[in-house]
Amino acid sequence: MSGKIQNVVIAGGGTAGWMAAAALAKLIGKSINVTLVESDAIGTVGVGEATIPPIKTFHKLLGINEQEVMRATHATFKLGIKFEDWKQVNSDYIHSFGVTGKECWAGEFHHFWLDSLNRGIDSKFGDYCFELQAAKAGKFALDQQAPLNFAYHLDATLYAEYLKGFSQKLGVKRIEGKISEVTKDSETGNIASLTLASGEQVSGDLFIDCTGFAGLLIEQALHTGYDDWSHWLPCDSAIAVQTKSIAPAVPYTRSIAHPSGWQWQIPLQNRVGNGLVYCSKYMSDDEALDTLLTNISGETITEPRVIKFKTGRRRKGWNKNCVALGLSSGFIEPLESTSIHLIMSGIIRLLRLFPFNGLEQSLIDEYNSKLDSELNAVRDFIILHYKVTNRDDSKFWQHCASAEIPESLQHKIQLFKETGRVFLDDGDVFRVDSWTQVMFGQGLHPKQYHQIANIMNDKELNNFLSGLKNAISTAVERLPEHSEFLDKYCKSNS
């Protein structure tokens, strides 16, 4: 055990740094001092612009006003992700944030839907999900009677700026400067201080590494090690570019598969974030740039930027007196918009285990154990999209089809394929609804399902399904257009 933790130093700004600063200052700021060191000369990656629903809980916890943050970040609402050309070329499906149908004690709704197909009732799985149908219709509203589960598309750079102002009002001290040296305690091996290029020294008791891929503290100073996951997730490059909006913003992210990876489209109020994720073994940077620029609409407003990465994670998220957040802790490609979520869950986990009276190994071990479980579950969910597909039209997709996958995912796929059952792991960020929407969407249909579905006769089942479907259709019809709602609710000034 070390001494009392009073001074927390965050190395690096960006989304991760300022999210950490805001949460620490707001929730336990009376017990600690928070200092953030960032350099104006170092840019942030700033492309993590799509989120998943738990971000609303984070904002609520911090007392952040939704309309205010949405205006400040030019945000739009997100009901899910539309996956195009993933199952096969010219096919699409939506993975939404909604619950599909109604479940019972023995199993989820998909068992009843599968049974209905056997009885000749012709319907799509997505017909029974309110969020999915609202996304398809391009509609949105905040309605207590018929609440939608949603997240946001936001400008990550503006989000960091917003949180910076929020944090500084709560007493977070910002020091501008480039970190030139990390000094460790010769006895404990813990980080003692950061030396800036100006010569200034910043000492602390607990350090949070938000220095991006470089991992200045967690890796370069503490040599934590990195687990490379590129044998499971071979994409290692991305190109990002922003374009002017030429159409109203839709309430979903688009993910469009291509012969060597996939392209994203994230609609904000005033522009669209675009990017191409690809594997450099199958596509050169020049080919990728050409593919991206050929498949975007609207005038480009930024220079295309190539980002190189190695999918994987640090062996420990918390090592000695250093916690890594964001890109310094690892990188799982942004296919399911988990980057900002993983920052947030890391912060909440740290707050719940915060070592007020000094570092205890049991706290550190608990943090790392829960992080392992969460990262493995996210990793498996992402790999699922590449593994379960009918695409074999390129060397990249052929590689994905034949590649080995983690045993944990292999078990989930086999269980679903053979029995129609889905069981979640402790760290699963995504619910059963997410797994079933993606499995069905990617073309995986089970051989059997739970016989609880047989409790209804044909007429009862038909009435049950048509009742759900009609209620959703009626609710969607009443919703305003997404862009119309945005204009009234949180139109940004610029």
Catalytic residues: 78
Contact 6, 33 (CB under 8 A): yes
At 12, list the tokens. Answer: 């690096």
Question: How far apart are alpha carbons 93 and 103 in whole angstroms?
Answer: 22
Pairing between strand 173-176 and 33-38?
Answer: parallel
The CA-to-CA distance between both ends of the chain, in Å, stands at 51
Given the structure tokens 């350099």, which residue do they identify? 39
Task: Give Cβ neighbours of residue 420 (< 8 Å, ≥ 6 apart).
Answer: 107, 110, 111, 114, 446, 447, 448, 449, 450
Instruction: Give the side-chain half-sphere CA count within 13 A for 10.
Output: 31
Closest-CA residue to 83 (of 239, 265, 298): 265
Neighbours of 340 (CB within 10 A): 26
Using CA atoms, how far residue 328 sits from 163, 220, 283, 318, 372, in Å, is 20, 11, 26, 11, 15
What sign for the dihedral angle of Cα 9, 12, 18, 20?
negative
Question: How far apart are alpha carbons 397 and 406 in whole angstroms?
Answer: 18
Question: How far apart are alpha carbons 272 and 244 in whole angstroms?
Answer: 6
Strands (E), 121-252: 151-153, 173-176, 179-184, 191-196, 201-203, 206-209, 226-228, 237-244
What sign for the dihedral angle of Cα 359, 374, 182, 156?
negative
Task: Give Cβ neighbours of residue 455 (< 8 Å, ≥ 6 apart).
Answer: none
Contact 344, 329 (CB under 8 A): no
Q: Sheet of 173-176: strands edge to edge?
A: 173-176, 33-38, 7-11, 206-209, 322-324, 318-319
At 404, list the tokens. Answer: 């080995």
At 85, list the tokens. Answer: 């050309």
Question: How far apart are alpha carbons 64 and 46 in whole angstroms?
Answer: 21
At 74, list the tokens. Answer: 């030019």
What number of residues does the chain have?
494
Given the structure tokens 């994905």, which residue do they identify? 400
Using CA atoms, how far residue 451 sits from 103, 124, 140, 360, in Å, is 14, 20, 36, 50
